[in-house]
């Protein structure tokens, strides 16, 4: 039966600045931007941004109580402030998992809480399954598992809900190329000519942004830097989609037993069009120990009011659970027991 309890907290924590940051050399080509904020002696939590390719932002520090958490935020290789921006060389899911482990060791962290949404949920699970002894738990939002059906939905299925946005996306390509949106977008996005890749990058990022919230926003995505972050997002995203996100089809169902003993909260917007609830539902059914929160009035974005409230409530529940047996107790009226 539904539980009716007062949320622990309904909005983000105040803005904070990092107390440390740096660039970590990953190999002879890639360097990774990282930062830490909050309590240097607190519970480590790592924020995993979406995309792949989106990069992190200052607001991502604000999901966590800075008095309790040691907050680690970083830009995945090729993203944000990591260099080189938009680079696809040795950019795969196993590389990103290895990067996280290298960062953990670099920062002297024994175990950390994994917090990721959208593509970040994929990466959190990939890391957790590879290094279950290094995870203290999971907070996952807008579940994406990298399956072919999910990629096809992004490229074609979202037109059922957002036909105008999809039409603008598709019509960026000549008519004879629209039978292979992914292949022909990818070909443009990896082209070195800015007159070829920039229009494709902006069209891709506009399409994704237009479908990401329940209510329309006027924000122009990834354009304040003259298209650099739009190119990183779209190029890396297309690269991962072309290669099936570098995870085996059917993953992660046969491996979940390695992490089901760890606490997990799954937060999903009911009207998430980018990552529809069917995937979160499947994960929750295969991980019955997890707390599953459906937010009834939200889409995909982590910053929609209901989503951010549920995510902050999850981090607060985890904080309280450190001295309470009721790990991740339900707190919202719409949750099921």
Q: Is 82 a catalytic residue?
A: no
The model's pLDDT over 174-202, given as tens digits with 9 standing for 90+, comes to: 999 999 999 999 999 999 999 999 999 99
Helix (H) / strand (E) element for 196: namely helix 194-210
Kindly name the residue from 82, 118, 121, 234 that is annotated as catalytic. Answer: 118
Distance of CA 229 to the CA centre of its chain: 16
165, 210 in Cβ contact below 8 A?
A: yes
Q: What is the pLDDT of residue 268?
A: 98
Estimate the crossing angle of helix 119-130 against helix 93-107, to 10 degrees: 70
Domains of the chain, CATH where assigned: 20-147+247-321 (3.40.50.1820), 149-245 (no CATH)
Q: Which residues contact 131 (CB under 8 A, 6 or more apart)?
A: 97, 101
- On average, the pLDDT of the chain sits at 92
The neighbouring-strand residues paired with 295 are 269
pLDDT at 9 over 90: no
Query: In which band, very low, low, confident or very high, does the pLDDT at 240 lie, cut at 50, 70 and 90?
Result: very high
Assign 336 a pLDDT band (cuts: 50, 70, 90). very low
Q: Which two tokens stand for residue 248?
A: 């085996």
pLDDT more than 90, % of the chain: 87
Q: What pLDDT is recorded for position 323? A: 60
Task: Provide the pLDDT for residue 327.
Answer: 41
The contacts of residue 278 (CB under 8 Å, 6+ apart) are: none
pLDDT tens for each residue of 126-153: 999 999 999 999 999 999 999 999 999 9
Give the separation between CA 328 and CA 101, rounded to whole angstroms: 26
Distance from C-alpha of 20 to C-alpha of 26, rounded to nearest angstrom:
19
Which of 3-17, 163-177, 188-202, 306-320 is predicted least confidently?
3-17
pLDDT at residue number 5: 46
> Is residue 228 very low, low, confident or very high in pLDDT (cuts 50, 70, 90)?
confident
Catalytic member of 37, 56, 272, 301:
272
The region of weakest confidence among 33-42, 48-57, 87-96, 247-256 is 247-256
Chain-centroid distance of CA 65 in Å reads 20
More confident residue, 281 or 227: 281
Q: What's the rounded mean pLDDT across residues 4-30?
A: 88
- Residue 118 is among the residues annotated as catalytic for this protein: yes
Q: Please tell me the pTM assigned to this model.
A: 0.92
**Confidence class for position 325, pLDDT limits 50, 70, 90:** very low
For residue 218, name the pLDDT band (cuts at 50, 70, 90): low
Residue 227's pLDDT is 56
| Candidate list 65, 121, 300, 301, residue with the active-site label | 300
Task: Answer whether residue 337 shows pLDDT above 80.
Answer: no
Cα gap 74→80, rounded to integer Å: 9
Is 272 a known active-site residue? yes
Residue 322's pLDDT is what?
77
Report the 10 Å Cβ neighbour count for 9: 15
DSSP per-residue letters across 77-133: TTSTTSBSTT--TT-SHHHHHHHHHHHHHHHT-S-EEEEEETHHHHHHHHHHHH-GG
Encode pLDDT of 71-126 as tens digits: 999 999 999 999 999 999 999 999 999 999 999 999 999 999 999 999 999 999 99
**Distance between CA atoms of 46 and 148, rounded to whole angstroms?**
27
pLDDT at 335: 55
Report how far residue 282's alpha carbon sits from residue 267's, in angstroms, rounded to the nearest whole number.
Answer: 13
């Amino acid at each position: 039966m539904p539980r009716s309890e007062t949320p622990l907290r309904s909005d983000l924590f105040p803005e904070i600045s990092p107390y440390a940051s740096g660039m970590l050399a990953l190999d002879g080509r890639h360097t990774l931007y990282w930062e830490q904020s909050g309590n240097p002696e607190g519970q480590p939590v790592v924020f995993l941004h979406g995309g792949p390719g989106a990069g992190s932002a200052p607001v991502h520090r604000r999901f966590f109580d800075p008095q309790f958490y040691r907050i680690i935020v970083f830009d995945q290789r090729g993203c944000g402030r990591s260099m080189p921006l938009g680079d696809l060389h040795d950019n795969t899911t196993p590389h990103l998992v290895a990067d996280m482990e290298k960062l953990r060791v670099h920062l002297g962290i024994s175990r950390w809480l994994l917090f990721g949404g959208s593509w970040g949920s994929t990466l959190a699970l990939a890391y957790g399954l590879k290094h279950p002894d290094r995870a203290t738990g999971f907070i996952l939002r807008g579940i994406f598992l990298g399956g072919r059906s999910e990629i096809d939905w992004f490229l074609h299925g979202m037109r059922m809900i957002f036909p105008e946005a999809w039409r603008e996306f598709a019509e960026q390509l000549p008519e004879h190329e629209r039978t292979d949106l992914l292949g022909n977008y990818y070909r443009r996005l990896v082209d070195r000519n800015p007159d070829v890749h920039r229009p494709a990058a902006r069209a891709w990022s506009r399409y994704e942004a237009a479908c990401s919230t329940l209510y329309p926003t006027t924000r122009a995505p990834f354009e304040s830097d003259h298209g650099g972050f739009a190119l990183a997002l779209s190029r890396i995203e297309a690269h991962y989609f072309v290669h099936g996100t570098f995870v085996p089809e059917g993953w992660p169902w046969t491996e979940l037993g390695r992490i089901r003993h760890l606490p997990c909260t799954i937060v999903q917007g009911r009207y998430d069009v980018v990552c529809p609830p069917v995937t979160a539902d499947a994960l929750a059914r295969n991980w019955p120990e997890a707390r599953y929160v459906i937010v009834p009035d939200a889409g995909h974005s982590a910053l929609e009011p209901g989503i951010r409230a549920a995510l902050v409530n999850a981090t607060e529940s985890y904080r309280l659970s450190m001295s309470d047996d009721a790990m991740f107790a339900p707190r919202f009226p719409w949750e099921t027991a």
